[in-house]
Amino acid sequence: MDKSQAWSCINYCGACCKLDPEQRQEALLALSSDDQELYLSMVGEDGWCRHYDKKSRKCSIYDQRPSFCNAKKILDLFNVPEESFDHFAISCCKQQIRYLYGGRSKEMKSFIREISVKPSFK
């Protein structure tokens, strides 16, 4: 990964909201038993989070979302050092976006644009 990249969430993606336990075993296993129960209760029949509005492509409980839905909190779940967060989160997002939408999708292109840090001129 390019060192000039910084992780950022993109609007209208929702890749992380595809909670299908068959595809997200590693994430599910990193959770406490209480959080595993909550996670599984959030999975709809189609594998998407019940709180993800597929039409608006937004979370309907964003301000009250569980801690495991907060990307910054994955540092604790996976024991990722803070200095490795960008690399770890970018890798996770790329994998999930590629799986759901494809490597050449508009979501992937938007994500790549968003994570590219512009050099600052002093």
- Tell me which amino acid residue 54 is: K
Residue-level pLDDT at 122: 45
Q: So where are the chain's domains?
A: 15-115
| Strand, helix or coil for residue 48 | strand
| Most confident segment among 2-11, 59-68, 70-79 | 59-68
Residue-level pLDDT at 119: 54
Residue 121 banded pLDDT, cuts 50, 70, 90: very low
Residue given tokens 């590629």 in the structure block: 98
Nearest-angstrom CA–CA distance, 58 and 49: 11
N residues, the chain: 122
Instruction: List pLDDT tens digits, range 17-54.
Output: 999 999 999 889 999 999 999 999 999 999 999 999 99
Does position 74 have pLDDT exceeding 80, yes or no? no
Residue-level pLDDT at 82: 87
Token pair recorded at residue 121: 């001129």
